[in-house]
Amino acid sequence: MSDLRGSIDLVALDVDGTLRTTDHTVTARTLAALAAFRAQGGTVMMASGRPEHGLHHLAEVHGLGLEGLVISSCNGAIISDAVTGDVICSRPVSRELVAFAAEQAAARGLTAMVFDGGDLHVSNVDGFNVDHEAQSNNMRIVACADLASLDVVSPKVLISGEPSHLATQAAGLREVFADRAETALSAPCYFEVTMPGVDKGSGLLDFCRVRGIDPSRAAAFGDHENDMPMIRAAGLGVAMGNALPQVKSIANRVTLTNDEDGIAVVVEELLHG
- Taking only the tens place, the pLDDT of each residue in 20-38 is 999 999 999 999 999 999 9
| Cα–Cα distance list, 13 to 49, 124, 145, 238 (Å) | 11, 31, 35, 10
Residues 6+ apart with CB under 8 A from 168: none
| Cα–Cα distance list, 258 to 15, 72, 251 (Å) | 10, 20, 16
Distance CA 212, CA 209 (A): 5
Q: Which amino acid type is present at position 16?
A: D
DSSP 94: P
Residues 6+ apart with CB under 8 A from 29: 261, 264
Task: Give 167-216 pLDDT, tens digit per residue.
Answer: 999 999 999 999 999 999 989 999 999 999 999 999 999 999 999 999 99
Average pLDDT, the chain: 95
CB atoms within 10 A of CB 242: 21
Residues of the chain scoring pLDDT < 70: 1-5, 273
Round the CA-based radius of gyration of the chain to a whole number and report it: 18
Distance CA 165, CA 91 (A): 30
pLDDT at 4: 58
Decide the pairing of beta strands 111-116 and 157-160: antiparallel
pLDDT at 5: 57
pLDDT at 6: 73
DSSP 93: P
Contact between residue 155 and residue 194 where contact means Cβ atoms under 8 Å apart: yes
Closest CA to 69 of 56, 78, 53: 56
